[in-house]
Amino acid sequence: MMKIDDIRREYLKDGLSEEKLLANPIEQFESWLQLAVDAKLDDPTAMVVATVDSNGQPSQRIVLLKDVNPNGFVFFTNTESRKAQEIAGNNKVSLHFPWHSLERQVIVYGTAKPLSNLAVTKYFLSRPKESQLAAWASAQSRPVSSRKVLMEKFQQIKNKFSEGEVPLPSFWGGYCIEPHQIEFWQGGANRLHDRFMYKLEDGVWTKQRLNP
């Protein structure tokens, strides 16, 4: 078996001070996201979404951020999926943006609020047609006997909606994660990383440095 306990590297790209941080963490996030996009990272909008089921078991998956605005962080999904079912029972969610090559991370703690049907429809109709068809074909998170069965279902859906617009599935929706805490992490030498936590208190964001 390969030896992994001594795989490590130093983090030397940048530092982070309170003076460098904007007062509003959403605006700070947008500035870091733009830098990630400008750096041409693979999937700069990819984020880990963590939810918890009724037994207290956490689960995670990677989805793509589709909007960030003053209200929070937006993504879309099948509302019958595991994550959506867990959000229905416990709408407290954590997001994690791992920008490894920039030696940065952002962690969001917040509450998932369903988006309006109008917002969901607008996004769904903006997707490539093949992605729209895939949404119809996949019973997300549920067992399927083989990839062949999945592809047969996809072809059936493709034939069904071969002409005109693909309608919005009744089981398709989206969420805005309204944050109450956001952490910014910048790697530092000797594992002395820079961490700052923003907290929303009485409608006002405050921030403080955390030990690494």
- Enzyme catalytic residues: 191
Using H for helix, E for strand and C for coil, what is the string for the chain?
CCCCCCCCCCCCCCCCCHHHCCCCHHHHHHHHHHHHHHCCCCCCCEEEEEEECCCCCEEEEEEECCEEECCEEEEEEECCCHHHHHHHHCCEEEEEEEEHHHCEEEEEEEEEEECCHHHHHHHHHHCCHHHHHHHHHCCCCCCCCCHHHHHHHHHHHHHHCCCCCCCCCCCEEEEEEEEEEEEEEECCHHHCCEEEEEEEECCEEEEEEECC
Neighbours of 174 (CB within 10 A): 23
Closest listed residue to residue 126, CA positions, set 66, 190, 205, 194: 66
CA dist., res. 184 & res. 108, Å (int): 9
